Structure 1
C-alpha cells in the first residue's frame, strides 16, 4: 500500500504543478510529499522529477512512469467500482459442506431457484453427517446443527430444530402407542450408526431430563434411511423436524411421547472462516438461504 501511496503522490505533484500545491490540496505537508516521491525514486532507482527548476518538470523516465502509473490508478478505480456490483455479478465456485438430510430436504428444493438467479456461480455441496472443519481444504461455508466444537470459526444461527420421536400409523396400530418413554425399550427402534448426541433419546418429565439406552434393531449413518424405515412401518425413530416435518403434516408419521419432549431446541448454524471481508459468493448464499429458512414450518425461533 505504501508503494501505491508513493505513486499517487507522484501523480498529484505533476497534476497540481508543484509539491506544495499537491500537498495543500491532499492535506499533507510539502515535506511529507517530497519524502514519498524520494522513496519512490529510491525504490525504482531512477530520477523522476527534475530538481532545481521553478516549475515541476519530469525526466524522460518520469514521463514514462507517469503513463504507467495513471493506468494502475484507473485500473484500481475500476476494480473498486466493480466490487460495488459483486452481489449481482457473483461468479466462481461456492463449496458448501452440510448434513445429508439437511441438504436433501432444505437445500435441494431451493437449489434450482438459486442457480437460476446466479447462473455464473457453480455450487459444490459436500455431504457429511458429522461436522469436521475443512475450511483449510477449500470449503467456503458449512451448515450443521447441535453442539459444535470450540474453534475460531464464525457462526450465525440459521434457525432451530426440534427432535421428534415418531412412527407410521401402521406400526402404531400393530404394536401399540408408547405411553411413556420407558415403553420404547420394548419397541422396534432405529437410530444412527455412530457415536453422537443424536443417539441420546432425551425426554423431560416434571422438570427432570433423562435419556434412554435405546438398543436399535438397525442403524444407519444417514437420517433418510431411518426415515424410510419408519415410513415403511418398521419401527420408531427420533429425527429432526427439518427431516420429517412434511411427513408429520401429511399424516405419514405420527409424533409420539409429545408430553415428554424436551423444551430446548437444537440450533442450526451457518459456519464460515472469518467475519472480515466475507466473500460475495458466501454473502449471496447466506442471504438467499436465510430468507428461505424463514418459510419453513420447522424453523421455530
Structure 2
C-alpha cells in the first residue's frame, strides 16, 4: 500500500479512535486498516497507537505524527488540485470588490475583458469605499489600496499609487505654488472624507517625515467633490494619483510638493483561497496583473 493511502488510514483511525470506524471512513475492511497501521509502525520503529479491546488512542509519538500526517496529506491534495486546476476552465460567478472610483476606472475594464474571454462566466462588482469582509459577504476577490491589516489573506501585488497635492493652474497662478509643506498654512485647502476641522497632513517618507497641522477651508465626504472644487480653482487638495490622472493629463490640475510625497501605497488583489485557487479566480488575477500593472506604473 502506498504511503499516502497509509497516512489517510492512520488519520482516520486516530480521529475515530477505532480500527473499524477508521476503516469504514476509508471504505476498507478493519483487517486491512489494522495491517496498514502495523506496517507503518514497523517501518518507523515506533508505536503510534495504544490498543485496547474497546478503542485505540494515540501515543505521544502518535500525536506528533498525526500533526505531520495531516499536513502532508493536505499538501498532497493541494498539489493534485493545483495541477488539475491548471487545465480547468473558469466556471460559475466571480464577485470582486474595490474602492468606488478605482473600481470604475480600472477594475471594470478588467472584468469586461475577462467576461469576453470567458463568456460562460457571470460576475458581480461591488464598488464601495470601505473594507468589505470577504467571508461574511461572499466575495471572491478584493482590490485594496494601502497596507493590509489582515495577514490571513492571500496577496497578489499589482503596483503602487501616490498621494499627491494638486491645484488648478488658475489657483496656483493667483496664490503661488507651495515650495514646502509649511507653505500650505497660507493656502485654501480642501479635505476629503475626514470631517475633522483640524488635520495633520504628513509628508515625506519614513526617514524624513514632516507633519503640518492645517484647517481646511472646505471639507467634503467624497473625493470627487474635493477634486471638482480644486478644478474650479477654490484651493489645493490631496488625493491618490489615480483619482486625478485624467485631470492632470488634461491640464486641469497640476501636482505640487512632489518632492515631499509620502511613500507610495501598494495596490493588491486579496483573496481567501489557498495556494490552489480556483480556475475562475486565477484567470481573473492573471488578467488583472497583466492589465493593471502597466496602468499603475504610469501613475
User: Which residue of 2 is the match for residue 161 of structure 1?
Assistant: 161
State the distance in 2 between where 1:92 and 1:114 align.
13
Q: Deviations over 1:133-170 (max 9, x none)?
A: 23232011111111221341122211111111111112
* 5+ residue gaps, structure 1: 6-31, 40-79
Q: Deviations over 1:163-201 (max 9, x none)?
A: 1111111221222222221121222222232489xx753
* 5+ residue gaps, structure 2: 6-22, 31-81
User: Which residue of 2 is the match for residue 92 of structure 1?
Assistant: 92
Aligned positions of 1:70-219 closer than 5 A: 85-87=87-89, 90-194=90-194, 201-204=201-204, 208-219=208-219
User: CA 1:291–1:180 in 2, change beyond 3 Å: closer, same or farther?
Assistant: same
May I ask how many residue pairs the two structures share in their alignment?
225
User: CA 1:207–1:147 in 2, change beyond 3 Å: closer, same or farther?
Assistant: closer
State TM-score, norm by structure 1: 0.64
Contact 1:242–1:298, Cα closer than 8 Å, also in 2: no
Aligned residue for 1:191, secondary structure, equals strand
State the distance in 2 between where 1:247 and 1:204 align.
24
Once the two structures are TM-superposed, the CA of residue 255 in structure 1 deviates from its matched residue by 0.6
Q: Deviations over 1:231-257 (max 9, x none)?
A: 222221111112222322332210111
User: Which residue of 2 is the match for residue 293 of structure 1?
Assistant: 292
RMSD: 3.3
State TM-score, norm by structure 2: 0.65
Once the two structures are TM-superposed, the CA of residue 221 in structure 1 deviates from its matched residue by 3.8
Contact 1:159–1:299, Cα closer than 8 Å, also in 2: no
Contact 2:86–2:279, Cα closer than 8 Å, also in 1: no
